[in-house]
Amino acid sequence: MSSFNHLGRLVSGLSLVAKEIAKRSKALETGDFETLIASTAKKVVVSATDLSGLTKGKVREFSPPRLNGSVAYFNNSPDLVAEPTPAESQLRNESSASDGVVTPSVSVQGKVLEEDRITKEEIGDLDRDNEGNAGAGGVAVSSEETVAAATVVKRRKPRERRVPSSPFTRALGFAGLGAGLAWGTVQESAKRLVFGAPSSQDKQSAYSPYLSDKNAERLALALCRMRGAALKLGQMLSIQDESLVPAPILAALDIVRQGADVMPRSQLNQVLDAELGADWSIKLTSFDYEPIAAASIGQVHKATKDGMEVAMKIQYPGVADSIESDIENVKLLLDYTNLIPKGLFLDRAIKVAKVELSRECDYELEATNQKRFRSLLSDAKGFYVPLVVDDLSCKRVLSTEFVSGIPIDKVALLNQETRNYVGRKLLELTLMELFVFRFMQTDPNWSNFLYEESTNTINLIDFGAARDYPKRFVDDYLRMVVACANGERDVVIEMSKRLGFLTGEESEAMLDAHVQAGFVVGLPFSNSGGYDFQSSNITHSVSSLGATMLRHRLTPPPDEVYSLHRKLSGAFLACIKIGAVVPCRELLLEVYKDYQFGEDGENEMLSGSIS
């Protein structure tokens, strides 16, 4: 009899559970019994496996993307937020209790999002970094341009993935990438044995099975998943002329330029709680959980504070602590492929990259850099540096005034007068940073320069890569630039020795290639009047001399040059991209005539004229 009583109690208990599930289910209200049964079955299975110790946690429901469902309005602004329903309040309480993380009480455009619910399996075809054309840091995306670009270029859809944050998980990711590349190489080698080597204008990719299309894609997707220093290096390589990089790698870098995968909401909240405190939402009116940019080191979210639109750059967890190991793992992969020529002095380049990336991960330093640039450019016409929001900024979170505009490369779609203006302002800024401020923002990512047509202004963002240059270095570098513009071979060689480009023991072939490369780069500054960047072949001419320099180079370039030449080449490539005609010599002359050489400010003129 007692067994029947126990059975009766069990049936009654199960019926109560079923009624409670039915009461909370929207599927029952709509008559969708199939969904109700499936959802209940999933919960029963998970409960059973939880009890057995096989799993831990809730069923993760997958819901379709909601284009307007990512903005959270906080309760500290009652005029904007409607009173939550009892059901919404209950959902919030359950979410906070189950995750063990303090979650702000939020209303998301009429619907509450559960903390552990994945609301997007894939985020739409948005350009996360540079509208498909550059690296990290952009915070404004033109939706019209995104639609236009999507018809031409195949876009990767960034996924919502947790960032591997521990040394073990990151090492595991690189190990998986290495194994994938090895397997891809075996496959490509076998394919070539059977069908022969592919015919390609790109000799390097045709020769090496490491550079197969599949391997290049594996590399790019792995970098987007890993994020951090590894992806940053990939994005640095992506700002290159097409003649300098093998075709499969170019295709892979196109994926890298579109941006990284994004953090899920639960991980994002954990980072914000850890960095700004569990009460961070009190300082905001709203916060958009869908990032407007996902770069190598962090992702950018739009928020509002006291009526001002704010861009919040939030660093991926574990990225700053993994720079050393990430770069070493990338070096191992590069050594494995054996594709890096000795003349690139990879060890020196990696040493410099570690220092630069460590600085970029320090958002307090970036905030200081941004304030300094805002002061330096306060009277400069045509440029704007947004405000830093101090009470929402710390070492791993940087909040600034939100600014809009189109990435510089999209200026190519505007009229010639505008293109000439933007090209001129870019070169004017570059020369001013180096020869006037001796303080330069060295990341040439085109989305760091947002052109606002209504005000004819270039909004400048992302100052993590800003650095100072020594006075003596800048003195000699200006002398060399002028000598290159004037075609003075002896001065170019002398300044190159003083700067550290040459040792004095180089072969005649190396000296000729080095000087000719200098003359090619100095070509825009060689004659008065407008220089048409698209009519020239600067990058192709330099790359044709590059092979000789790589074979005969005896010393790596000075440390200052890695960042400086990245910025200078980015400025030239931007002018080529938009088809600008710029009076380069006049801009150089304007800087040169006021420049004070020497530590004591004593003005020193060169033998050559720059009139």
Q: How far is CA 340 from CA 188, 334, 406, 482, 563, in A?
A: 20, 7, 35, 32, 19
Backbone angles phi, psi at 478, to 5 degrees: -65, -40
Asked if residue 445 lies in contact with residue 135, where contact means CB atoms within 8 angstroms, the answer is yes
Residue 531, classed as helix, strand or coil, is strand
Q: How is residue 118 annotated by DSSP?
A: B
Query: Which residues are within 8 A (CB) of 234 and not within 5 positions of it... i.e. 6 or more apart?
Result: 219, 220, 223, 252, 253, 256, 296
Comparing CA positions, the residue from 314, 229, 207, 228 lying closest to residue 267 is 314
Comparing CA positions, the residue from 353, 466, 459 lying closest to residue 400 is 459
CA 153 to chain centroid:
19
Q: How is residue 538 annotated by DSSP?
A: H
Comparing CA positions, the residue from 34, 123, 29, 24 lying closest to residue 70 is 123
Q: Which of 129, 326, 409, 443 is catalytic?
A: 443
Calculate helix-pair angle for 323-337, 167-195, nearest 10 degrees: 10
**Active site (annotated) includes residue 443:** yes
Which own/partner contact pairs does 601-607 have at CB distance under 8 Å and 24+ positions apart? 606/479, 606/482, 606/483, 606/491, 607/488, 607/491
Q: Which residues of 406-439 are buried (b: 16+ CB within 10 A; e: fewer)?
A: bbbbbbbeeeeebbbbbbbbbbbbbbbbbbebeb
Beta bridge partners of 466: 441
Asked if residue 276 lies in contact with residue 363, where contact means CB atoms within 8 angstroms, the answer is no
Which helix or strand (DSSP H or E) is residue 485 part of? helix 471-486
CA 211 to chain centroid:
24
Can you give the length of the chain in residues?
A: 611
Q: Among all chains, which residue has been given the structure tokens 């994020």?
A: 227
Tokens at 495, concatenated? 């300044």
Q: How is residue 201 annotated by DSSP?
A: S
> DSSP secondary structure string, 450-478?
EEETTTTEEEE---TTEEE--HHHHHHHH
Beta bridge partners of 510: none
Q: What angle do CA 40, 42, 45 make, to 5 degrees?
A: 110
Comparing CA positions, the residue from 397, 398, 402 lying closest to residue 386 is 402
Could you list the active site residues? 443
